[in-house]
Amino acid sequence: MKNFFQFTERNTSFKQETLAGITTFLSVAYILVVNPLILSQAGMDRGAVFTATALTAIVGTVLIGLLANYPIAIAPSMGLNSFFTFSVCIGMGIEWQVALTGVFIAGVIFMILSLMKIREKIINAIPEALKHAIAAGIGFFIAFIGLKNAGIVVGNPDTFVTIGELTSPKVALAVIGLIITIFMMVRGINGAIFYGMVIMTIIGMIVGLISIPSSIIGTIPSLEPTFGVVFMNLQDIFTPEVLAVIFTFLFVAFFDTAGALIALTSQAGIMKNNEIPKIGRALLADSSAGAIGAVLGTSTPATSVESSAGIAVGGRTGFTSVIIALCFAIALFFSPILSVITTEVTAPALIIVGALMAMDIKNIDWSKIEIVIPAFLTIIMMPLTSSVAMGLAFGFILYPFVLIAQKRYKEIHPIMYALCLLFILYFIFIA
Q: Partners of 160 in the beta sheet?
A: 156
pTM: 0.75
In contact, 177 and 196? CB cutoff 8 Å: yes
Which pLDDT tens digit goes with each residue over 224-240? 999 999 999 888 888 87
In contact, 56 and 204? CB cutoff 8 Å: no
Q: Which of 126, 70, 75, 142 is nearest to 356 (CA)?
A: 142
Domain ranges, ordered by start, for the chain = 7-148+214-338, 363-430
Helical residues (DSSP H) of 297-387, grouped into ranges: 307-313, 318-333, 343-358, 369-385
In contact, 240 and 111? CB cutoff 8 Å: no
Does position 176 have pLDDT exceeding 90, yes or no? yes
Q: How far apart are CA 134 and CA 392, in angstroms?
A: 7
Does position 339 have pLDDT exceeding 80, yes or no? no
What is the H or E stretch that residue 95 is in?
Answer: none
Higher pLDDT, 323 or 209: 323
Higher pLDDT, 356 or 51: 51
Q: How many residues does the chain have?
A: 431
Question: How many beta carbons lie within 10 A of that of residue 247, not counting itself?
Answer: 15
Does position 336 have pLDDT exceeding 80, yes or no? no
Q: What mean pLDDT is predicted for residues 99-106? A: 92
Average pLDDT, rounded, for the chain: 88
Higher pLDDT, 423 or 328: 328
In contact, 361 and 132? CB cutoff 8 Å: yes
Which pLDDT tens digit goes with each residue over 249-292? 887 777 778 888 988 998 898 988 778 889 889 999 999 999 99
CB-count burial class (<10 Å; 0-12, 13-18, 19+) for 218:
middle
In contact, 46 and 37? CB cutoff 8 Å: yes
Q: What mean pLDDT is predicted for residues 327-344? A: 81
Which pLDDT tens digit goes with each residue over 18-53? 999 999 998 888 788 778 878 988 999 988 999 999
User: What's the confidence (pLDDT) of residue 353?
Assistant: 77
Label residues 354-376 b or e (16+ Cβ within 10 Å = b).
bbbbbebbeebeeeeebbbbbbb
CA torsion 322→326→329→335, rounded to 10°? -130
